[in-house]
Amino acid sequence: MEYISTRGQDGPLGYEQALLSGLARDGGLYLPVSYPRFGEDEIRAMAGLSYAALAGRIMARYTEGEIDEDEMTAMAADAYAGFTDPDVAPLKHLTGDIHVLELFHGPTIAFKDYAMQFLSRAFDRALQSAGKQAVILGATSGDTGSAALEAFQGREAVDIFILFPDGRVSPVQQRQMTSVDAAGAHAVAVAGDFDDCQAIVKALFNDHGFRDKVGLSAVNSINWARLMPQIVYYFKAALELGAPDRKVAFSVPTGNFGNVFAGYVAMQMGLPVERLIIASNRNDILTRFFENGAMQRETVTPSLSPSMDIQVSSNFERLLFELLGRDGARVAEIMARFSDTGQFDLPAEAMKAAHEEFAAYRLNDEGTVAEIAASAEDGMILDPHSAVGVSAARRAVADGTVPSGVPIVALACAHPAKFDSAVTQATGTPPALPPHLADLMDRPEKMHHADATADAVRDLVLARRRDA
């Protein structure tokens, strides 16, 4: 399998080259030259596979010529061996046609574990094969950082630096990052918001001298290999609900567009998906885009669902590439305009294609609290991000966006204890952390602080990486 850039000036590369590169050298994002597609009989044959075997079968289609299905399955089995639920990603019924996919049974109790635990094994394999060292640089609105630091801590071939917006992640999210005390693991509090952190990451990837000097790579969802493991749980949930003989819809709390794009890829691979529902909080740039066809950046406003407090959804560029017929030059022009002006719009034919596959809803903080309370009455405690997704699912049923009888899977992206303040506000009862994290808030913190500039972070990386 070969990979090309969304901006048309980089690639084709092999899988491990794309993995280690992270962001394309032309500033774009890697995508496979084509999506492998499963027939209905092939999808039926997946029923009953273990989660690891399912992961191996799906992901091996993207590593053909480099890693075979047996090795991918073994890597997945190792990655998910420590998850606390034997089903890895259990599917629970909530009410009516709505089901909830619990994606918080990994070590950091957030959906990012599904990708990050696998990715650390993939990096180990690739770096050992190439005899290289790497610096991983990432930005997080909360969950990516803790999952990455947990997965990559102490690995001899990798130094990892995770940028997070100072004061804009939950106390549990921060402590999960800053309590990691291992060689090569660095949590960095940046004096800005998530979009500032992400802009720094992109700037440093576009500094090719620095990039080559330190062997820079990425574990944010800008890295295609981060998205691959997330495709798996869409297949897993749909199979449980009758795919390929029954369509399924998905409602996805959405910030950086990576998780929902993995669902889009599952569709391209043959999974019968009725609709992908984008669920936004008050930072509703994506909902506004699907309403009026215009992407318009605004100021990020803190909310009860901080991992979605984003106004620049990096992975949207991948969908843009598809909506524009894979025209890299056109994508590059639009992204340059967005960088300069904070806005762009798309022609009617592109929006028509988008509306055939996606719907979008927003939910403010008051609505989030109300949904947590309502879901509690239905017998399930949700974190505020998952509540945004469930609320969107309810509305998609109510307004007919998803036809009656079609099951909707709402992705529960984090354990409620990660956001105990919002949950307590809604239910009156603080949720308890799972046993392996019971002492988290008593663990000592270790972190760096940096101004919201590429220069400040560059200097920090150069000073702190182990082969400096």
**Nearest Cα residue to 385 out of 154, 170, 218:** 170
Report pLDDT for 468.
53
Provide the pLDDT for residue 154.
82
Three-state secondary structure along the chain? CCEEECCCCCCCECHHHHHHHCECCCCCEEEECCCCCCCHHHHHCCCCCCHHHHHHHHHHHHCCCCCCHHHHHHHHHHHHCCCCCCCCCCEEEEECCEEEEECCCCCCCECHHHHHHHHHHHHHHHHHHHCCCEEEEEECCCHHHHHHHHHHCCCCCEEEEEEEECCCCCHHHHHHHHCCCCCCEEEEEECCCHHHHHHHHHHHHCCHHHHHHHCEECCCCCCHHHHHHHHHHHHHHHHHCCCCCCCEEEEEECCCCHHHHHHHHHHHCCCCEEEEEEEECCCCHHHHHHHHCEEECCCCCCCCCHHHCCCCCCCHHHHHHHHCCCCHHHHHHHHHHHHHHCEEECCHHHHHHHHHHEEEEECCHHHHHHHHHHHHHCCCCCCHHHHHHHHHHHHHHHCCCCCCCCCEEEEECECHHHHHHHHHHHHCCCCCCCHHHCCHHHCCCCCEEECCCHHHHHHHHHHHCCCC
Q: Which residues on adjacent β-strands are paired with residue 253?
A: 279
**Is residue 276 in some structural domain?**
yes
CA separation for the pair 304, 356 (Å, rounded)? 30
pLDDT given at position 367: 97
- Through-space distance between the first and last CA atoms of the chain, rounded to whole angstroms: 35
Per-residue pLDDT tens digits of the chain, which is 468 residues long:
999 999 999 989 999 999 998 889 999 999 999 999 999 999 999 999 999 999 999 999 999 999 999 999 999 999 999 999 999 999 999 999 999 999 999 999 999 999 999 999 999 899 988 888 899 999 987 778 889 999 998 888 899 999 999 998 889 889 999 999 998 999 999 999 988 998 999 899 999 999 999 999 888 788 999 999 999 999 999 999 999 999 999 999 998 899 999 999 999 999 999 999 999 999 999 999 999 999 999 998 999 998 898 888 889 999 999 999 999 999 999 999 999 999 999 999 999 999 999 999 999 999 999 999 999 999 999 999 999 999 999 999 999 999 999 999 999 999 999 899 999 999 999 999 999 999 999 999 999 999 999 999 999 999 999 875
Establish if 16 belongs to a structural domain.
no
* Residue type, position 380, single letter: M
In the prediction, which pLDDT does 438 show? 92
Among residues 206, 255, 259, 201, the alpha carbon closest in space to that of 230 is found at: 259
Q: Given this model, what pLDDT does residue 194 score?
A: 86
> What is the token pair recorded at 149?
């630091």
Q: 166 lies in a domain?
A: no
Backbone angles phi, psi at 202, to 5 degrees: -65, -40
Q: Is there a domain that residue 336 lies in?
A: yes
pLDDT tens readout for residues 121-161: 999 899 988 888 899 999 987 778 889 999 998 888 899 99
Residue 69 included in any domain: no
Structural domain range at position 308 = 91-110+224-427
Residue 346: CATH number of its domain: 3.40.50.1100
Just list the catalytic residues.
112
Q: How many domains does the chain have?
A: 1
CA dihedral (381, 385, 389, 392) in degrees, to 10, reads: 110
* Listed residue (456, 390, 453, 448) closest to 145, CA to CA: 448
| CA neighbor of 104 nearest in space, from 278, 279, 233 | 233
Tokens of 27: 């500033």
Q: In this structure, is residue 244 part of a structural domain?
A: yes
In a domain, 3, yes or no: no
Q: How far apart are CA 81 and CA 79, in angstroms?
A: 6
Q: Is residue 362 part of a domain?
A: yes
